[in-house]
A and B are shown apart, each in its own frame.
Chain A
Amino acid sequence: MTNVAVALDAKQTWIAEFASSEPDLAGPAWLRPIRKQAIARFEAAGFPTQKHEDWRFTNLAPLLRVPFKPAILGRPDGVLAERLEPFSFGVLKTSRLVFVNGQFSPRLSYLRPLPEGVRVASLAEILRNDPGSVEKDLARHAKYEDDAFVALNTSFFTDGGYIEIPKGTVVEEPIHLVFVSTSHEMPTVSHPRNVVRLGARSQATLIETYAGWAPDVTFTNAVTEISAGPGSVLDHYKIQRESESAYHIATMTVDQDRDSNVMCHSMAFGAALSRSYVHTNFHAEGGSVALNGLFMPSGVQQADNYTRIDHAAPACTSVELYRGILGGKSRGVFNGNIYVRKDAQKTVARQTNKNLLLSKEAFVDSTPGLEILADDVKCNHASTIGQLDENAIFYLRSRGIDEEAARHILTYAFASDVVNQVKVAPIRIKLDQLILSRLPKGAGPGEGL
């Protein structure tokens, strides 16, 4: 079958799936028409093909060929708590919500004492007991109109994290959402949906971990919607460690109010094909955002990173730093867009993408973009692609460090610029460990280059 036929076929399967499972999808009455509109949009648009500008380097055919069974058919199966141990952060104390194949697992989750008024719960539970509190956020930030995967998620989601921080409240301990994907005979799919609302002047740290184990074939299609109130501070981490045969597509939309300060860290290690789309919007003056990303595919993995920062209001600042380290036959894509609207004067936007190719077979595409409709702005972007500096390796070797160690030191140093932005020390340590464990073994690609 051609890729186009595969995409059409998969589309029909999903539409049929929606028709049969729609009555069982939980949710209040106001959600049903939204789900229906979303599937209608999906039906009209279909899966993107490589002719679509944003999907030029991403072939979805392998994903669409897999006959995924929606995980709503399955039950949270017996994932042992010990298996989640590698996904925690050592001494770091966090509240933790665990979702197995998209469904909340009370057995694996625990809440630590939280300040008054803070709500950390499963979205399914909120939709059952207090749907009114999510009505103004759910499906209001992430637009399903022009994104097939957001549309699919909106049609099918059943659960995810719900976090609400009341105004003026500071939550000291991070909140950790863990999404575990497992499959046995049948490949499974899940559509986690997270809704986060930060009240005025509140502060929180949120971690999303996506976990899985080889050789499970799973597909996670996650959507996170965040609204950051005036003067709020959010430190957000997304750590993607899915099985290397998994597919991972995640969209995060952040709507920022006046003087809010958001840091989004996106770290991609796992999955055969992963795609992270981060979309932040400034709706009022004085906001700032930092997008910080590291992608480290090896083997035949592909890691895509799309970001869009919408400066719709004046006097906002965005700083973006994405670094890619690519080994084996992996592919990486960085596509960053900064959009400064008319009258968004005094905007400062800085975007940097740097990529390190460790092997001959790796491929990276970097497309930084600036669209500027205001004049009193300072915007720049920079992008580099290169290899390890042979002179630096030579220097280290002349100091008695063997070649493999020298390459490791330099690769690690390349990644550390991103890791050093992480404020929470135990997370930083964990990331360091992950990076070190993924460094290529042997003398490295220096041979025969």
Chain B
Amino acid sequence: MVSKSVLQEQMAKQEYKYGFVADLDEDTVPKGLSEDVVRLISRKKKEPEWMTEWRLRAYRHWLTMKEPTWSNVRYPPIDYQNIIYYAAPKPKKEVKSLEDVDPEIRALYAKLGIPLQEQERLAGVAVDAVLDSVSVATTFKDKLADLGIIFCSFSEAVLEHPELVRKYLGSVVPFNDNFFAALNSAVFSDGSFAYVPSGVRCPMELSTYFRINAMDTGQFERTLIIADPGAYVSYLEGCTAPIRDTNQLHAAVVELITLDDAEIKYSTIQNWYPGDKQGKGGIYNFVTKRGKCLGANSKISWTQVETGSSITWKYPSCILQGDNSQGEFYSVAVVNNYQQADTGTKMLHIGKNTKSTIISKGISAGYGRNTYRGRVQIHKGASNARNYSQCDSLLIGSTCAAFTFPDIQVQEPTAQMEHEASTSKIGDEQLFYCQTRGITPEDATNMIVNGFCKQVFLKLPMEFAVEAQKLISVSLNLEGTVG
């Protein structure tokens, strides 16, 4: 039998290699939240009147709301007046081309391995990088524009494509949807916007890289992706933050809309700073993500690998409104040390012949608490709706915890629902077998964990899948032993 202590010791020694701080001159607004701050943010972004109004409505509604407490995560109360709601790297001059981007920022992204620079265009990924709250650079814009694809920062979209933004903003996640969505609607600073016109298949992966750099800031970005009839787009999102011993709030909103026959594939690798071994510091990642399959035969697919954040609390969901539409959710959530994750999905079947698939893998180690919470709802009239859910949990060490709270509501007799869940630890027999074949316990654990997650990794774009695998072994600190 494997000596438990070796394994656990290895896992406890987690390292976060993205924990550097770039010394950038930051343009911030004063701490705290008020109508003036909301107006100030809006003014800084040179937003039109309607946008300011929308933010203010959201803010006023937020004031009437109470912070939800039903989740299975524990954290001390957040002081919303002690957060800087807007921080932008101060531009030394107008940014005209990539060469003009602050070299410090470029160095920062190079450090992160983000292919921002021209010579790395061969990587074939269009990147929109969002630092603290503001989009700093977007690559490949022209090439995408030739196809009619709009891919830009959210603030740019508000100014240049107001008709699209007005039509869809808040149509999936209204500003009064929940506490954190309302907060985001009031103070969101930037984010990504993508629009793929009718019949166009986006030739490359669109990608956004989020990073929180400044201290005491919250990051509130907003992403809106629209796929017109017959369009296809695959979108990637990655996130990191420096090591700080205070908690930082990240409350983003993502809205996806697919029209007839369109498809959006949304992948996330979330690696915010998870806090140290004693659970100090780290990001509170409270995010609202939702997609709406508005048109017939449309499809939305969420894939997420959640390794970072001290607390992750999010449910990427699909509203399957169009007939024959499909929703998918593939998730790997890893918690180690004192991390907590309460994540899952909601699938709302409204249209006929709608299908959804949920595959969720939770891995808990150290003192981590991992919760799967999901809801599958079949509305009356959603005939022949089909759902398959599977959520498995893997426990490493005796101090971690795993929870599953699925909820299935059916109002339609022709619906077919299946839900399965299992919780277990890495089998002693499996480890023993690997060891008899000369594989070290660390390698064996890694193999088993990777095998456990494989179903989800297969859904990621190739480059991301490799990164995700590495990230998991780093999170569990089995790094260096991968065979």
Contact = CB atoms under 8 A, between A and B. Distances in A.
Interface of A: 53, 342-343, 345, 355, 357-360, 362-387, 445, 449
- The A contact surface, by secondary structure, is strand
A305 to B, nearest CB: 14
Please give me the 4 A-B residue pairs with the lowest Cβ-Cβ distance, nearest first: A375-B395, A357-B413, A380-B422, A385-B417
Contacts of A345: 398
A382 B420 contact: yes
Given A362-B413, A375-B397, A445-B413, A384 B418 contact: yes
A381 B404 contact: yes
A378 B420 CA distance: 14
6 contacts: A342-B398, A367-B405, A369-B404, A369-B405, A375-B398, A377-B425
Interface string B403-434: 11111111111111111111111000000000
A367 B408 contact: yes
Given A372-B395, A376-B425, A445-B413, A383 B406 contact: yes
A375 B399 CA distance: 8
A374 B395 CA distance: 8
| Of listed B70, B396, B404, residue having the most chain A CB within 10 A | B404
Nearest to B375: A367
A386 B416 CA distance: 4
Given A372-B403, A379-B424, A381-B421, A387 B413 contact: yes
Contact of A365 (B407, B413, B415, B418): B407
A89 to B, nearest CB: 33
B58 interface: no
B410 A368 contact: no
B398 A363 contact: no
- The B contact surface, by secondary structure, is strand
B209 to A, nearest CB: 35
A383 B417 contact: yes
Contacts of A384: 416-419
B393 interface: yes
B38 to A, nearest CB: 31
B425 A375 contact: yes
Contacts of A370: 393, 402-404, 421, 423
Contacts of B393: 370, 372
Contacts of B70: 53
B409 A363 contact: yes
Nearest to B397: A375
A372 B407 contact: no
Given A369-B405, A372-B402, A376-B398, A385 B423 contact: no
Nearest to B70: A53
B401 interface: yes
| Of listed B399, B402, B405, residue having the most chain A CB within 10 A | B402
Contacts of A355: 410
B388 to A, nearest CB: 10
A387 B416 CA distance: 7
A270 B418 CA distance: 28
Given A377-B425, A382-B421, A357 B402 contact: no
A372 B404 CA distance: 9
B264 interface: no
Contacts of B409: 363-366
Given A342-B401, A378-B423, 17 more contacts: A342-B398, A360-B380, A360-B413, A364-B410, A365-B408, A365-B409, A367-B406, A369-B406, A372-B401, A374-B398, A375-B396, A375-B398, A377-B423, A377-B424, A384-B416, A385-B417, A449-B414
B418 to A, nearest CB: 5
B135 to A, nearest CB: 40
B407 to A, nearest CB: 5
B196 interface: no
Interface string B452-466: 000000000000000
Nearest to A383: B419
Interface string B370-395: 00000000101001000000000101
B217 to A, nearest CB: 35
B400 interface: yes
